[in-house]
Structure 1
Amino acid sequence: MPHKIPESVLVVIHTPALEVLLIRRADTEAEFWQSVTGSKDSPDEPFAETARREVEEETGWRCGVEGRLTDWGLENVYEIYPRWRARYAPGVTHNTEHLFSLCLPAALTPRLAPREHTHWRWLPWREAAAACFSPSNAEAILLLPQFAR
């Protein structure tokens, strides 16, 4: 299996009332709740295409059909958790994450990819931020009111 590219997207999916979708990772026993995330498939894949692909793979929703995808023009650089570093090329320790949001008209039911996620829930944005295991994900959710206008 090829190494993951250390460039990814984070897509905060929300309603106009700022309810946020969180999904629980399947590859851990802990309560690892997060927004939609995923790495580029190729170095030249545009971040917006990565975001559209990951939303569809992880929720079954199509950006532009169910909701509007917004590029926040922000990036986070963070250290990759040691448990997941083997997925990347030797020596890769950091990832660059590009931020997006997807506004849906209401709290819809996602169709989860069972190999990736086991549960889902909608929470008010502050509660969703508090429930995230990733600090960068929590910070993005706390920025949501600025980008949801």
Structure 2
Amino acid sequence: MSKVAGRKKRIIITTAALVAIGGGAAFAYWTAAGVGDTTTTAGTPTNFTITSTVAGGALSPNGPTQTFTFTVTNPGTGVQKLTNITAAVAGTNGAAWTSVTGCSKDDFAVGSPSFTATEIPANGFITGTVTLQMVDRPGVNQDGCKGATVPLHFAAS
């Protein structure tokens, strides 16, 4: 009987140990909490680039109109909205044009640029046109404009 009792005792102890180990593993866990933050930087707009070509005869007082075809390109990495384009007889960066004696911006009329306001995708472009004409200024000698290279300045926003 003692063999049977010892054997039963071992079975009971082994079973209890397995239940304790197995039961403990089934319900064992760690509690934890955590938070995390990160940041990134939004880019900044990249200035549009504008190029143009001109078609038409030489300018003269009240003479033919020249038509400029311009291209506005978005060299940035994302979409940028083009809402306005201006064109004016002006020097680099819109500075007053004074390089020709006897000829000024007042001798010319620039039309309103024709284009479609739109969103331009990265590396995309739009085209438009604008006209330029030399005006007749009665009583004013416009000889200074003969052979002058007339700068047209574009600005896009």
Provide the TM-score with structure 1 as the length reference. 0.29
Q: Select the structure of larger CA radius of gyration.
A: 2
Provide the TM-score with structure 2 as the length reference. 0.28
Higher RCO structure, 1 or 2 (CA under 8 Å, sep 6+): 1
Structure having the higher strand fraction is 1
